[in-house]
Structure 1
Amino acid sequence: MDQRVLHTKQALTTALFTLLQQQPIERITVTALCQTAHINRRTFYIHYDHVSDIFDDYQIDLAQEVAQALTGQHASTVQLVATFDKILMANLTGFQYLCLSRQHHHLIEDLQQMLFETLCDNLLTNQTPGTAQLVLSSLTAGLINTYIYWFSHPDTITYQTLVTTNQQLVRTHLALLPQ
């Protein structure tokens, strides 16, 4: 992808997460988004039809990076957690606000569903539905909830504790998957 396109999309994503701190996604206008991202409306419409499409792109990028971490030659729980963490931390303030805001709960649910589907697609290639999906559902809910808890208790949980806990959470859940 062209560097200008990447730069534009990243600027729009950053602007979206900034604006989400002030209002729900449904109330963010293209004008406000473009002003915050320092791009013109025509550029926006070259890439997107709606403001919510930016969040959809964010989820797709997250899914691709998680899938890549799962399918790499050296895929490990440490790498998976590091990949997930890196992507979320790239927009820490906005993601923190999403996690703590009740009005954006549906976006967190969408993110959790995307993570679940990505894990299923990459880890359950030859398994029948059942126990494995329960394990991965628990894992994805747990990962998202550890971030929500960390954001809600910044003085009691360190970042390193969060990372270590998430690595143990992933390792334990993956050990539960039927062979």
Structure 2
Amino acid sequence: MDQRVIKTKQALTTALFSLLQTQTIDTITVTALCRTANINRRTFYIHYDHVSDIFEDYQLQLADQVANSLAGERHHLNNLVQTFDKILMANFDSFKYLCLNRQQHHLVEDLQQMLFDTLCDTLLTAQAAPTDRLILSALASGLINTYVYWFSHDDQITYDALTETNQQLVKTQVALLTK
């Protein structure tokens, strides 16, 4: 992908997460987004049709990075926690806001669904037991919810304790999958 396109999309994503700290996604206008990203509306419409498309693009990037971290690495699932953590922490303030703001809860649910779908696509075979999907559903929602909990209790739980606990949770839940 052209570096200019990458830079433009990064600016729009950063602007979106910045605006999400004070507005819901459906109230953010293209004009406000472009002003914050310091790009013109014409450039926006070259890449996207709607403001929500930026969040969908972010989810796709997240899904690709999670899938790449798991590709062929079923026994090295610490990559999952490290990759997921790195991606989410790149937009720390905005992700924290999403997790703590009830008005943005549907976006957190979208991230959970994306993580679940990516885990299923990456870790399950056609012969997987139906309970394996249940396990991965618990893993996806649990992983997201540990961040939600940590954001509201960061005075009680250190960042290192969060990541260590997440690694143990992933390892334990993946061990339950039908071999």
TM-score range, shorter chain: over 0.9
Task: Report if the CA contact (8 A) 2:66-2:84 is conserved.
Answer: yes
Mapping 1:58-137, distance limit 5 Å: 58-72=58-72, 76-128=76-128, 130-137=130-137
Partner AA of 1:157 in structure 2: I
Partner AA of 2:36 in structure 1: T
Q: Give the equivalent residue in structure 2 for 1:19.
A: 19
Separation in structure 2 between the aligned mates of residue 78 and residue 60 of structure 1, nearest angstrom: 21
CA RMSD of aligned residues (A): 1.2
Identity %: 69
Task: Report if the CA contact (8 A) 1:63-1:118 is conserved.
Answer: yes
Runs of 4+ in 1 over 4 A off after TM superposition: 72-75
Number of aligned pairs?
179
Q: Give the equivalent residue in structure 2 for 1:170.
A: 170
2:34 counterpart of 1:37: no
CA deviations over 1:107-154 (Å, ceiling 9, x no partner):
111110010000000100233451100100000111000000110011
Separation in structure 1 between the aligned mates of residue 92 and residue 23 of structure 2, nearest angstrom: 17
The runs of 5 or more residues in structure 1 that have no matched partner are: none
Separation in structure 2 between the aligned mates of residue 133 and residue 74 of structure 1, nearest angstrom: 16
Partner AA of 2:43 in structure 1: T
Partner AA of 1:173 in structure 2: Q
Separation in structure 1 between the aligned mates of residue 137 and residue 4 of structure 2, nearest angstrom: 37
Separation in structure 1 between the aligned mates of residue 120 and residue 7 of structure 2, nearest angstrom: 31
CA deviations over 1:50-89 (Å, ceiling 9, x no partner):
0000000000000000000110458612111100111101
Give the match's secondary structure for 1:76. coil
Note closer, same or farther for the CA distance 1:143–1:73 as it changes in structure 2 (3 Å cut): closer
Give the match's secondary structure for 1:173. helix
Separation in structure 1 between the aligned mates of residue 72 and residue 158 of structure 2, nearest angstrom: 29
What is the TM-score with the length of structure 1 in the denominator? Answer: 0.97
